[in-house]
Structure 1
Amino acid sequence: MSQVLRDPREVMREEMQMHAPILAAVADEPLTIPQIAEQLGAPASEVVYWVMGMRRYGFLAESKDADDDGFFTYAATGRQV
């Protein structure tokens, strides 16, 4: 079963709306992108865009080392939306 990917412009339009749900997901503990996607019920391919944008602007910070599966974890920095 193949998943139909949305236009990246559509995904990026939702970035500001996704800040609060992503910050809520990582509030208790740092999570990987697949874990965040699972909690949000969104495709990991879209969560990557949102998390990278939040990382770029200082809302999230990544761990120094990847986990055993090669994924970095992301935690809230405390910057408010």
Structure 2
Amino acid sequence: MNLVSFALRRPISLLTMVIAVALVGFLVVDRMPRDIFPDIGVPVLYVAQPYGGMDPAQVEGFIRKLISCGGAYQSMSLC
């Protein structure tokens, strides 16, 4: 409660400190270097399923059905 008692005893001092901290924060943010086009890594998801002997359309349909049913841990007959 030391901070509360200080704020109650000296409100002008506390207001001056808050304004000083806000001003320093603004100056620091204003002087930070900016990059118009930052290098952002785009997240990529790779799915590899070993379904030998199936054409791509069959594999796509099989995987789409698994995902739409709630995942690979759910039985195909429930969906």
TM normalised by structure 1 equals 0.28
Structure having greater relative contact order (Cα 8 Å, sep ≥ 6): 1
Larger strand share, 1 or 2: 1
TM normalised by structure 2 equals 0.29
Larger helix share, 1 or 2: 2
Structure number with bigger Rg = 2
